[in-house]
Chains A and B, each alone.
Chain A
Amino acid sequence: MIKEKRKGLSLTASVYLLAVLACVLTFVFFPQKSVINKYMMKVTNEGLIYFIATLGLCVMLGMGGQVTFSTAGMMGIGAYSTAIATTRFGMATLPALLLSVVLGGLLSFVIGLALFRLKGSYFSFASIGFTTLLFTVFSNWMEVTGGPDGISRIPKLDLYFFQCGNYYDYFRVYFVVAILCFLIVLRMRRTSFGRSLASVRDDEIAASCLGINTYMTKVFSFVIAGVFACLAGAMYALHSNYISPEPFKYDQSAIYLIMVMLGGVDSTFGAFIGSMLLTILPENMRFLKSYYKLVYGVGVIILMVVMPMGIMGFVTMLKNKLRAYFKKRRADAFQDETEVAQDGGMLT
């Protein structure tokens, strides 16, 4: 027998509703100079961009269990292709952004096919190589990428019906995009793809015996991560209107990984918490000056020891414990009742 399902609005439906509500409210009311200053708005926008990039990691690492360092590199692909398309070829910003996303998808498909010949940590090392290679290209191919000088004067995002003039406008658009991506990943968890990935993560042999093509499933997850990273990169280029190779270096990938781990690998919302915390917190920790890295490093170690599954993982653990506790109490109460009934029977 299956326990009866709960009635009322399901969790997913309420999440969707909340998300739409948040979108509308933010678009209309939130970003005002009186609420948040220009600099923090910029930082928040960058947080949103990183969030989109980490969503890709959330799919790969959280759902698929594959550690990849390719995020920064793929962001670079997105950023540079958008920048080149708009500045050299004079494309409008929106088509350039879409083009770079498609390009990123195709590239990561081809690279994924090659890299997933390797398994586990060998794959991770190969992805470091891939990112380093991309970084070398970005910083040395002077004619195309401008080398260390980078590309400047990237036009501002133009959605045809809405022009982004300042960081506050950007926030509106990026917040909606981030929510959309968030919902896509949330939905992915409940599809056969999400389940396939989860079973690849936990047991590849069992997965293949259940009809899952483990190799292609991993490649698809790499493509999805690549698409998200490219989108984030393109958004980054349009947001800061100047790009250099530096933010697309391999160590930046490690930061994205930490964002996902901090938020909780199993949780989509965790990626949001992690990316926001790691973008905004450093700004508020400026007073630590050069000790910042020290505090940061110790913080990461403590986090991994105390909450190996991240903040959301910690929350879920508490939830499960409570659930088990209440279940036990209910069962005990039921047993007591029956015992009392039996005792009563004995007495009379």
Chain B
Amino acid sequence: MAECLLEVRNVNKSFGGVVTAENVNMTVEGGQIRGLIGPNGAGKTTLLNLISGIYEVDSGIILFKGKDITRLPAHKRARLGIGRTFQQPRFMNRASAKDNLKIGTDLLNQFGYIESFFGKRGHNFDQELNELLEIAGFILDFEDPITSLPYGQQKLLEIVRILLARPAVVLVDEPAAGLNKQEQERAAQLLYKAVSSGTGVVLIEHTMDMVMSVCDRITVLNFGRVIAEGLPREIANNKQVIEAYLGGGDDDA
């Protein structure tokens, strides 16, 4: 097995009386895609927010490469190598596609502002970008305002942007939502590309065929609790999971 990059241990989080994470445990290994599924409101996105540092955990710890990052602010976690995308693509709406992609390489370069002002050159990302865009499968005009791109391209571009930063772990929140079959396939290819270079991926997704075909292991959440964990085919036959999705019978009453 590859090394364990990210470990979530006994994490709890509640908003007022609503428990969105209760003793959640999860591990992510390098070169592996970890699926994270569950019905709406199960706490999947909250868990990603906890990992990326947007929310702070109430209790429990988050380890990244063996280091405790539970109390680090979001930007420091990102610099350590935890990248993420969002359910709705979040770009700089008033900037060009180029500037939006460069934010990703800025994260990789991690220059100070003054170094950047005097034109220090960082990694040349043209080739990498070309490869990624080829997988994403569209021609990008660099100078186009980002908002002029179709929704599907924006979603793919968000994955491209974070992959340019070569993160150790990528958290991908519903990459296939709103995409057509072909674009879903492209999104999956982008994730494979990341995995092939040893990146660990956490994938939240509702499109079951994508989850089942892409993921190495799957964690299932319901009401903030992990109700199942295992290989895709184990999950597919798990009674509790099926109940969570389709509604349980009264047999346990």
Residues in B whose Cβ lies below 8 Å from that of A209: 52-54, 74-75, 78, 83-84
Segment from B22-30, B103-111, B207-215, B236-244 that makes contact with A: B103-111
The residue in chain B whose Cβ has the minimal distance to the Cβ of A202 is: B92
The residue in chain A whose Cβ has the minimal distance to the Cβ of B113 is: A193
One of B95, B117, B139 near A193 (C-beta < 8 A): B117
CA distance A345 to B140 in the complex (A): 32
Residues in B whose Cβ lies below 8 Å from that of A207: 75
Contact of B134 with A196 in the complex, beta carbons under 8 Å? no
CA distance A68 to B148 in the complex (A): 30
Contact of B106 with A192 in the complex, beta carbons under 8 Å? yes
The residue in chain B whose Cβ has the minimal distance to the Cβ of A62 is: B94
CA distance A209 to B139 in the complex (A): 27
Contact indicator per residue, chain B 136-155, by CB within 8 Å of chain A (1) or not (0): 00011110010010000000
CA distance A220 to B86 in the complex (A): 27
Contact of B134 with A1 in the complex, beta carbons under 8 Å? yes
The residue in chain A whose Cβ has the minimal distance to the Cβ of B104 is: A210
CA distance A205 to B92 in the complex (A): 12
Given known contacts A191-B116, A208-B74, A208-B75, is B133 in contact with A1 (CB within 8 Å)?
yes
Nearest chain A CB to B118's CB is how many angstroms away? 9
Given known contacts A3-B139, A211-B110, is B90 in contact with A206 (CB within 8 Å)?
yes
Main secondary structure of the interface of A (DSSP, over half): helix
Contact indicator per residue, chain A 212-225, by CB within 8 Å of chain B (1) or not (0): 11100000100000
Given known contacts A192-B116, A324-B148, is B139 in contact with A208 (CB within 8 Å)?
no
Contact of B139 with A320 in the complex, beta carbons under 8 Å? no
Residues in A whose Cβ lies below 8 Å from that of B141: 3
Contact of A2 with B129 in the complex, beta carbons under 8 Å? yes
Nearest chain A CB to B105's CB is how many angstroms away? 9
Interface presence of A119 (CB below 8 A): no
Interface presence of A38 (CB below 8 A): no
CA distance A208 to B107 in the complex (A): 11
CA distance A1 to B127 in the complex (A): 10
CA distance A261 to B99 in the complex (A): 23
Residues in A whose Cβ lies below 8 Å from that of B134: 1
Interface presence of B79 (CB below 8 A): yes
Contact of B78 with A188 in the complex, beta carbons under 8 Å? no
Contact indicator per residue, chain B 79-105, by CB within 8 Å of chain A (1) or not (0): 100011010001111110001001110
Contact of A2 with B130 in the complex, beta carbons under 8 Å? yes
Residues in A whose Cβ lies below 8 Å from that of B117: 187-188, 191, 193
Residues in B whose Cβ lies below 8 Å from that of A1: 130, 133-134, 139-140
Nearest chain A CB to B239's CB is how many angstroms away? 37
Nearest chain B CB to A195's CB is how many angstroms away? 5
Interface presence of A149 (CB below 8 A): no
Interface presence of B66 (CB below 8 A): no
CA distance A266 to B133 in the complex (A): 29
Contact of B107 with A198 in the complex, beta carbons under 8 Å? no
Q: In chain B, residues 202-220, which have Cβ atoms closer than 8 Å to a Cβ of chain A? A: none
Contact of A214 with B75 in the complex, beta carbons under 8 Å? yes
One of A193, A198, A208 near B53 (C-beta < 8 A): A208
Nearest chain A CB to B186's CB is how many angstroms away? 14
Residues in B whose Cβ lies below 8 Å from that of A266: 94
Interface presence of B73 (CB below 8 A): yes
- B-side residues, CB < 8 A to A, are 52-54, 73-75, 78-79, 83-84, 86, 90-95, 99, 102-104, 106-107, 109-111, 113, 116-117, 126, 129-130, 133-134, 139-142, 145, 148, 162, 165
12 extra interchain contacts, Cβ-Cβ under 8 A, other than A199-B92, A202-B92? A2-B140, A3-B140, A188-B117, A191-B113, A192-B102, A192-B109, A193-B116, A195-B99, A202-B95, A205-B74, A207-B75, A212-B103
Name 24 A/B residue pairs within 8 A (Cβ), A-sorted.
Answer: A1-B130, A187-B117, A191-B116, A198-B92, A198-B95, A198-B99, A199-B92, A199-B103, A201-B92, A203-B91, A206-B86, A206-B90, A208-B54, A208-B73, A208-B75, A208-B78, A209-B52, A209-B54, A210-B78, A210-B162, A211-B106, A211-B110, A212-B75, A324-B148
- A-side residues, CB < 8 A to B, are 1-3, 5, 187-188, 191-193, 195-196, 198-199, 201-203, 205-214, 220, 266, 320, 324
